Amino acid sequence: MNYNNFTLVTNPLVKREITILRDKNTCVRDFRRSLNRLAFHLAVAVSENLELDEILIETPLEVTKGVKIKNSIVLIPVLRAGLSMVSSFVELMPNAKVGHIGLQRDEETLLPIEYYYKTPKNLEEAKVFILDPMLATGGSACAAFDFIKKRGAKDLYFVSIISAPEGIENLHKNHPEVKIYSTSIDRGLNENGYIVPGLGDAGDRTFGTL
Ligand code: PRP
Ligand code: URA
């Protein structure tokens, strides 16, 4: 499948971690660890978009050129499951600011219910990365971008572990400028709106609330 503005981040280590996430016998501890490691791979991949300023530094031997990150970076996890991706991103992007968006999918209508928003100022100057391990119908992702675009965000990225084709298409249709990074495109959605084969409910499996 070929999508515009979509990058599949994959390699043998990524494939092994996804296998651990999918396995229903994986315990909460191992589930979190694999999510963290996958988020690390994704953070490296999206860092290709960062720009550099040249600086001069002194080694013990001489003055030489180095670099610093030019961009202001804002990470916005979608609560709850997106929280599990923050620590890996912050590890690699230590100056990033972190906002939060609380969305809960209604189990009947599958529409997102908004319950919390707190984002940093000056979103218009930042590269803004929405973090959520699951892109299912795309309703939550679209609601998150609706919100941050109203607050001026322009340079937009969505970072997920597992994506359904339905969610990718929905996000492309409503927010075509968003660059999506994901470690898997799964087959589709079942009658309850769950990604198949998927990994189940990412929030419940991360926080042990099954
Ligand atoms: C999950 C997931 C996404 C959303 C994806 O969250 O983390 O936010 O569902 O589904 P969609 O693409 O169809 O909108 P959920 O609503 O289960 O909340 P939780 O993280 O608190 O469990
Ligand atoms: N949210 C999840 O956590 N899992 C899915 O499969 C779909 C939405």
Amino acid at the residue 53? D
Q: Where are the domains of the chain?
A: 7-207
Determine the distance separating the centroid of ligand 1 and the alpha carbon of 62, expressed in angstroms. 52
| Residue from 35, 11, 14 nearest 200 by CA | 35
Residue 4 pLDDT:
82
Residue nearest to atom 7 of ligand 2 (CA): 194
CATH number at 7-207: 3.40.50.2020
Can you tell me which atom of ligand 1 is nearest the CA of 201?
17
pLDDT digits (tens, 9 = 90+) for 19-52: 999 999 999 999 999 999 999 999 999 999 999 9
What is the rounded CA–CA span in Å between residue 154 and residue 5? 15
H/E run at residue 179: strand 179-185
Check if 99 has its Cβ closer than 6 Å to any atom of ligand 1: no
Q: What does pTM read for this prediction?
A: 0.97
Residue 1 pLDDT:
60
CA distance readout (Å), 103 to 79, 142, 147, 148: 6, 11, 11, 13
Q: Which residues are catalytic?
A: 105, 109, 201, 204
DSSP 40: H
